[in-house]
């Protein structure tokens, strides 16, 4: 459905935001995961025809997006990261106006389309409410309603769940699942759980490059037997030992640490290793966080850790 070939983009300030990006994406939700500054928004904006690329191509259902941006625009919907709304206008009024821009000139047809979209995102009852009174989750659902005007084949949503509370996030995730039938829904996010819960296919991006690409399930399975964990009890005595040891980079400096995090006063360490890294390490089932952080590790020297 969407074929991206060797797409590159360098901004005027010399930052190369996209480096030879190639992806083939089918219907359903495709997750694009990466840290801030990875280039996700640059890719989204280029796909949404809001900026040019220096080289490469993007073909959406046979239409070359870079060569025919006008035609492509009728086939795509976009929910940008900083989707602003007019606070004093009602949901129905703004959606009606946006539908005019999308080419719905017949007022009766437009009214039907607007009502249908508001029902789909569960905002029909609130249609007369001013957008300034909407919660973050309601605003994002409104953003989806406008992105779906004209039944686009490609819907691009840029970091949509950032800032939503847990209930709103689940509701929004369910909405994304519902609307991803028969179309490509490209979801850019830095939240690993969003991808784990929603996306049958994904890519990880860093420094303008695609560094992993595939189904989360397959990428996770590829780490089977290679992720080990250990808990370090930071009681006052062991804490001082730990601090002492952690300043000594010679201690087990060959270990590749995936993550370290505090949990109930203890430090949980996850390590990548083809064999048991030490007697006190236990093998654990890998997860998508491990895939993400090992992909980002990609560095010449392993990180040192005190064990
Ligand atoms: P992400 O969405 O993954 O956070 P972005 O695409 O926003 O990443 O940014 C990728 C890189 O490009 C960053 O280094 C960012 O500072 C830079 N960048 C983004 N937009 C512009 C721009 N309009 N002009 C110059 N540099 C930009």
Question: pTM for this structure?
Answer: 0.87
Quick one: pLDDT at residue 235? 63
Quick one: pLDDT at residue 246? 45
Quick one: pLDDT at residue 3? 97
Q: Which residues line ligand 1 (CB under 6 A)?
A: 11, 13, 15, 17, 34, 36-42
Q: Rounded to the nearest whole angstrom, what is the distance from the C-alpha of residue 30 to the centroid of ligand 1?
A: 21
In this prediction, the residues of the chain whose per-residue pLDDT falls under 70 are 234-253, 299-307
CA-nearest residue for atom 12, ligand 1, is 17
Q: Rounded to the nearest whole angstrom, what is the distance from the C-alpha of residue 299 to the centroid of ligand 1?
A: 22
Atom of ligand 1 nearest to the CA of 158: 2
> Is the separation of the CB atoms in 179 and 185 below 8 Å?
yes
Q: Rounded to the nearest whole angstrom, what is the distance from the C-alpha of residue 1 to the centroid of ligand 1?
A: 26
Pairing of strands 76-79, 63-64: unpaired
Q: Rounded to the nearest whole angstrom, what is the distance from the C-alpha of residue 46 to the centroid of ligand 1?
A: 12
76, 85, 194, 123 alpha-carbon torsion, rounded to 10°: -90
Q: Could you write out the DSSP letters of every residue in 261-300?
A: EEETTEEEEEEE-SS--STT-EE----HHHHHHHHHH--S
What digits encode the pLDDT tens for the residues 188-204? 998 899 899 899 999 99
């Amino acid at each position: 459905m969407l074929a991206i070939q060797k797409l590159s983009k360098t901004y005027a300030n010399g930052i190369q935001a996209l480096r030879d990006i190639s992806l083939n994406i089918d219907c359903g939700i495709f997750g694009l995961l990466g840290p801030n500054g990875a280039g996700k928004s640059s890719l989204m904006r280029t796909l949404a025809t809001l900026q040019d690329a220096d080289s490469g191509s993007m073909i959406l259902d046979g239409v070359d997006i870079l060569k025919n941006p006008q035609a492509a625009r009728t086939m795509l919907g976009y929910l940008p990261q900083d989707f602003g709304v007019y606070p004093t206008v009602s949901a129905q009024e703004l959606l009606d106006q946006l539908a005019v821009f999308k080419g719905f000139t017949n007022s009766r047809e437009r009214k039907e389309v607007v009502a249908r979209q508001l029902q789909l995102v569960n905002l029909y009852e609130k249609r007369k409410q001013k957008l300034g009174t909407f919660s973050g989750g309601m605003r994002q659902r409104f953003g989806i309603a406008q992105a779906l005007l004209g039944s686009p084949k490609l819907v691009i949503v840029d970091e949509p769940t950032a800032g939503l509370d847990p209930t709103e996030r689940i509701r929004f995730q369910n909405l994304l699942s519902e609307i991803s039938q028969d179309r490509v829904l490209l979801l850019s996010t830095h939240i690993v759980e969003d991808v784990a819960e929603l996306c049958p296919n994904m890519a990880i991006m860093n420094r303008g490059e695609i560094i992993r690409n595939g189904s989360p399930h397959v990428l996770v399975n590829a780490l089977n037997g290679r992720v080990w964990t250990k808990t370090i009890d930071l009681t006052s005595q062991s804490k001082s030992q730990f601090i002492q040891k952690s300043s000594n980079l010679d201690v087990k400096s060959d270990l590749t640490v995936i993550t370290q995090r505090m949990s109930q006063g203890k430090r949980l360490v996850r390590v990548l290793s083809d064999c048991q890294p030490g007697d006190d390490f236990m093998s654990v089932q890998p997860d998508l966080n491990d895939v993400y952080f090992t992909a980002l590790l990609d560095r010449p020297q392993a990180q040192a850790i005190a064990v």
